Amino acid sequence: MLCIENALLFDGEIFKKNKKIFIKDKKIYDISGRKNSKTYLTIDAKEQIVCPGFIDIQVNGGGGFFFNETVSIDEIKKVSSTHAKFGTTSFLPTFITDNKTKLPIFIQTLNNAIKEKIPGVIGIHIEGPFINVDKKGIHAEEYIRTPTESDVQELKKIVNCIKLITIAPEKVSKEFISELLKNKFNVFAGHTLATFNEMQNGFQAGIRGITHLFNACSQFGSREPGVIGAFILNEKPWAGIIADGHHVSFDTLKVVLKAKETKKFILVSDAMPPVGTQLDKFKIYSKDIFVKDGKYIDSSGTLAGSALTIHHALQNILQQKLVSVAEGLQMTSTNPADCLGISKKNSMGLKGRILPNFDADIVILNKKNFKILNVIQLGKVLS
């Protein structure tokens, strides 16, 4: 049992001063000002920020491992522990467009990871291959294709967990989107050249959000508002943003954050294998990817994921004064939890807030520079 005292608590909505958070059996048991029992191990937060653990919906790898090449539970554990050091207590392992034979292997490994309840792993994000080749980014053109019935059957093999898939709405049928929704997928649009009308139709069909907004999608124009315009004009959809200053300029983010409610934005890392290591090079599809000036690029300069963690993305948007501290913290945890439906009763636990009965996933931050002081995952103190 654990007690965090003297907390400047951000519960997911508001800040509360001088609170005690009692943790028992991996859950938040109570939040109050009551006296601490001697049976509780105590952490003195010293009036620093205590907030929900970060939730990353787009993690390609870390700790030297890439999910498209990861075929063991031990490797998934290593990626999870790498990101946990940076405050990411929950994440979706992300598998990008690849050879058709690889995804079934990863799905089976992921299913085993879910059954073993590996801390941090709450589901899967499948990014491609049902995308637009003209917005492929680093995705390999030879593996991009349209979905078949066998693909639907393969996707149905994913066990009971959080499921997210990125598709190009102009390249798939409404029937395919409907089938995904029946199988409880969160459907996002990405790597797409959808027109404004196509994107509007996609939202009406059940598309829930946009993967890495501004990147690999049709842009806002004078005569064609594209994906960006459709996202701004619709209240319900969420959008992931890669706040590293390379994928999207901070000035551009400032504009869109003023145009739409901040609760609809989710910080994502799009992290690749070098995160948490000293690697200066890695491979995607046998292609060399270089670590240069805080970004990952191939020999032609195409961005290949990011060097971010959610923690670094949070520091960036706060240093740039794009949002308030509360809004920034919501973008790391509360917003993705609401988007994925894990802020309500579900099989993967309650996440995204510090409230009684929620999972004890907690980060303690320095309130001045937002450096990580402690990470607690399911009640276990990691640092």
Q: Is 134 a catalytic residue?
A: no
Task: Return the exposure string of 323-343: e unless at least 16 CB atoms fall within 10 Å of the residue's CB, then b.
Answer: bebbbbbbbbbbbbbbbbebb
> Residue 188 and residue 168: Cα distance in Å, rounded?
8
Q: What are phi and psi of 283, to 5 degrees?
A: -125, 145
In 3D, which of 183, 181, 203 has the Cα closest to residue 192?
A: 203
Which tokens sit at 235?
């209240």
Q: Is 58 exposed, middle or buried (0-12, 13-18, 19+ CB in 10 A)?
A: buried
> Residue 67 and residue 103: Cα distance in Å, rounded?
10
Angle at 338 between CA 44 and CA 168, to 5 degrees: 130
> Residue 31 and residue 23: Cα distance in Å, rounded?
9
Which residue type occupies 91?
F
Overall size of the chain counted in residues:
383
- Catalytic residue, from 270, 338, 359, 361: name it: 270
N- to C-terminal Cα distance for the chain? 16
> Residue 199 and residue 293: Cα distance in Å, rounded?
34
Count of CB atoms situated within 10 Å of the CB of 322: 22
Catalytic machinery residues: 270
